[in-house]
Structure 1
Amino acid sequence: MAKMFYGTTPEPITIDDRMLAHVKVVVATKLRRGESFTLSWTHGIDEPGGRSTIWLQPAIPLRFVFDSEQPESLDQNLLKRMANDANSSRGLSLDIDVDRSDVAERPAQVRRSAAPRSLVRAA
C-alpha cells in the first residue's frame, strides 16, 4: 500500500499503489494549474459509517510514497474520469474501481493511519 502525506499531519492516508498513481497524476495536474479541489473517500468497514474529505490546494504540503520501485501503468480512461470528477463541484472521490490486472476491477483501498481508528475501504 502506498501512502499520501497531507499537510503537516504525520499520519499518512494509505491507498492502493495503483490508485495512488492515478491520484498523483490528477492532483499534480490540478495543483500545477493553481486549482484547488476536494478529495473524498468512504470510511472502511472497521470505522463508523461516513466519509472523509480533504481540501487540496497548492500551498498545502503533499507527498506520495509508493511501495513499488516501478511506476504503475496508468489507465487513460480512468485518468479522464478522475480528472472530470476533480473538476466537478463534488470533487475527486476514491470510491471508484481501479483495474488491477488489466482484466478485472476491484474497489480501491483507502486507509487513514490516524489513531485510534483507521479507514479501510473493503476490498
Structure 2
Amino acid sequence: MDITRALSDENRVRALAALRGRELCVCQIIELLRLAPSTVSKHMQILRQARLVECRKHSRWIYYSLANDQAPPAVRAAVEWVCSTVAKDPKIRDDAKHLKQILKMDPETVCRLQQKS
C-alpha cells in the first residue's frame, strides 16, 4: 500500500523520474519541483517510507537516490515501471531540461539562491 500511496502524487513521480540514474541533493529537488522545502521534505519522506528512494547525509547536505539492488523486487519493479512509463511525458521532459540547468550549479549555489527567494 505504501508504494501506491507514494506514486499517487505527480510531484513524487517527478522526483522519482529526476533521480533515475543519478543522486540529487534535496536542494536540487526543491529547485526542480519549485515547491517549498517543507513540502519537498514531506514528499521525499513518503517515497523513503515506501522504500522507493534512499537518502544519505554528507556534511550538511542530504542526497537522494532511487532504491538500490537491495530493495525488494516489488519496489525495484515499481521504480522501473514508473520511470519508463513517464519518460515521454511532456512535464517529465521539461523537468529533464530544467534539471540540466540545475546540475550546472553546485548544490551550495542552488541552496543560496533558494534562501534569497
| Structure with greater strand percent | 1
The alignment's TM-score, normalised by the length of structure 1, stands at 0.29
| Structure with greater helix percent | 2
The alignment's TM-score, normalised by the length of structure 2, stands at 0.30
